[in-house]
Amino acid sequence: MSISPSYTLRNKRIWVAGHGGLVGSALVRRLQGEGCEVVAAPRDSVDLRRPDQLERWMREVKPQAVFLAAARVGGIYANDTRPAEFIYDNLMIQSNVVEASRRVGVEKLMLLGSSCIYPRLAPQPIPESALLTGPLEPTNQWYAIAKIAGIKLGQAYRRQYGCDFVSVMPTNLYGPGDNFDLMQSHVVPALIVKAHQAKLANAPTVEVWGTGSVRREFLFVDDAADGMVFLMKNYSDEGIVNLGPGSDVPIRDLVSLICKVVGYKGGVRYDTSRPDGAPRKMVDTSYAASLGWQAHTPLQAGLEATYRWYLDHVASQERRAVA
Ligand code: GFB
């Protein structure tokens, strides 16, 4: 089985790979209460796609545990239009971090995947056992294949070398620190920007991609980081573990909620020439719950925190740049 209450983070040197990203920065926040030293690889001198640079840095710094939150990520448009980057960068980052972790003797490594690894038409909610049981959603197959390879890498190193490598599969994430660039972002930050700009411009409508009828499950990133730290300390097995809040919404309801949080009172225009992506991808979180973890941030509260972060960190800088 799976529960191994013995792994402590206290007094350990922990590398959060991807410390500046959405998940990595939430992990850094969450780890502050764990009595550990958090280290970060400098972006300008350590390219995780380069095994030589990575291993040199890891031998110098000697991390004892690693959260692999570094990845090439993006929303439906970025995934669909930059397939080479999404498959190559993720395959390289994962292979290099897994192999270097084995070579320098990392005690524990957590790989992060995504709910898009599951078949497009998987049963809902999606159990971990649905992995590799059917065809993938075409818009993100490149990213999904790379993330599935990451899971298999971790499992293979566990079997052959006895490495304590585990994999978690969070559902769609959002929160402070997200990417608000419309051509790269996921739906939550994109709609926050669009609703905010429509409010400022008094625009009659806000544009939403797709039909609005597909459903998504959104996990607040600080909940996700909490689940990851919980599993790092308490889970040790080759099975993957889903992380999610346990409920999903149609995109059209998400749009209404974001407009309410932002204070935009106009209408909505659906651009159906844009893809919908998977019809639904809500993960079954009963395994994580049986291990003792669950999410606690309601969607509206998470969206309010994300909008506040956007106003303080993105919109305010754009205003300064214009002034
Ligand atoms: O968040 P999102 O880009 O990713 O899109 P996926 C979710 C849904 O929101 C899709 C719709 O049906 C989009 O068409 N949507 C509506 C929008 N308006 C917008 C908009 O302005 N921007 C964006 N981005 N979407 C990603 C995968 O899929 O999910 C990744 O491509 C990863 O590989 C990630 O797995 C978690 O949920 O469709």
Q: How far apart (Å, rounded) are the C-alpha atoms in residues 84 and 321?
A: 33
pLDDT, mean of residues 312-321: 84
How does residue 322 score in pLDDT terms, banded at 50, 70 and 90?
low
187 lines ligand 1 (CB under 6 A): yes
The predicted-structure confidence for 22-74, as pLDDT tens digits, reads as follows: 999 999 999 999 999 999 999 999 999 999 999 999 999 999 999 999 999 99
Q: How far apart (Å, rounded) are the C-alpha atoms in residues 184 and 182?
A: 6
Task: State the pLDDT at residue 5.
Answer: 59
- CB of 57 closer than 8 Å to CB of 64: no
- CB of 296 closer than 8 Å to CB of 223: yes
Q: Is 77 a catalytic residue?
A: no
State the angle between helix axes of 299-310 and 251-262 in degrees (0 to 180), rounded to the nearest 10.
Answer: 50
Q: How far apart (Å, rounded) are the C-alpha atoms in residues 74 and 143?
A: 9
Which residue owns the Cα nearest ligand 1 atom 31?
76
The predicted-structure confidence for 140-185, as pLDDT tens digits, reads as follows: 999 999 999 999 999 999 999 999 999 999 999 999 999 999 999 9
User: What atom in ligand 1 is closest to the CA of residue 86?
Assistant: 33
Distance 78 CA to ligand 1 centre (A): 9
Distance 277 CA to ligand 1 centre (A): 7
How does residue 4 score in pLDDT terms, banded at 50, 70 and 90?
low
pLDDT, mean of residues 269-294: 97
Q: How far apart (Å, rounded) are the C-alpha atoms in residues 180 and 158?
A: 37
What pTM was estimated for this model as a whole? 0.97
Q: What percent of the chain has pLDDT over 90?
A: 96
- CB of 260 closer than 8 Å to CB of 236: no
**Which one from 7, 88, 118, 143 is the annotated catalytic residue?**
143
189 lines ligand 1 (CB under 6 A): no
111 lines ligand 1 (CB under 6 A): no
Distance 81 CA to ligand 1 centre (A): 13
Mean pLDDT of the chain: 96
The predicted-structure confidence for 119-146, as pLDDT tens digits, reads as follows: 999 999 999 999 999 999 999 999 999 9
Amino acid occupying residue 266: G
Q: Which of 256, 182, 173 is nearest to 212 (CA)?
A: 256
Task: State the pLDDT at residue 316.
Answer: 86
The predicted-structure confidence for 194-205, as pLDDT tens digits, reads as follows: 999 999 999 999
Which residue owns the Cα nearest ligand 1 atom 33?
140
Which residue owns the Cα nearest ligand 1 atom 20?
187
DSSP string, 111-159: EE--GGGS-TT--SSBPGGGTTSSPPPGGGHHHHHHHHHHHHHHHHHHH
90 lines ligand 1 (CB under 6 A): no
